Amino acid sequence: MEAIINFLEKYISQFGYLAIFILMFLESACVPIPSEITMPFGGFLAAIGNLNLILVTMVGSLANLFGSYAAYYIGKLGGRPFLDKYGKYILLRKEELDKVDEWFNHRGEITVFITRLLPGIRTFISLPAGMAKMNLTKFSIYTILGVMPWCFLLAYLGYIFGENWKIILNYYHKFEYVFFAIIILIIVAFLIFMFIKKRKQILK
């Protein structure tokens, strides 16, 4: 793990936003590159003035969106037989694919939004969405709404912890559903704020 962290640190330090885009694209295209390293380290670089926190978030979010398109079309064009045959090359196990299939089939298209906020399963949900030929516009909206708070939270934590950003890795898997709850609270707070703001404008 330490070797991976060191490589990603050097790569992101050297290439900045481009590196963040490539890494987050690959992660969302189901290549096992941990966003919990990429985004917090990007946030740390923003804290020391090398990058900008908002741009780190935007680049990571857009990369996730485009990477999701890649996975979506793999699912749409290749289908389950293709994934069963070649998924092993990106470390995609049959059990993981069964899990995201079940999530999508039982909970419907809103799953694309919800699972973007869940560690682990978030990476693969584009595949069953593609297999189900989900409307691409709706897929895009749900995806970007899901990935933006995720990317921001990870980058912001890296920004706050600064040189100690690796602390996030120590506690990430222990408290991954706390991360999920925090993100949900952020979204709810934002929606309430927008609702109140809109009501005030109407009353005026």
* Residue 79: predicted pLDDT: 75
Least confident of 6-20, 152-166, 189-203: 189-203
- Per the structure, how many domains does the chain have? 1
Among the listed residues 78, 109, 106, 105, the one whose alpha carbon sits nearest the alpha carbon of residue 92: 78
pTM: 0.77
CA distances from 24 to 32, 78, 99, 104, 123 (A): 10, 23, 22, 23, 10
Locus of tokens 């912001």: 156
Domain that holds residue 149: 2-203
What percent of the chain has pLDDT above 70? 81
Q: How many residues does the chain have?
A: 204
CA distances from 102 to 31, 117, 149, 200 (A): 21, 17, 25, 42
Cα 1 from chain centroid (whole Å):
20
Strands (E), 41-115: none
pLDDT tens string 162-196:
888 888 777 766 656 666 676 677 667 767 877 78
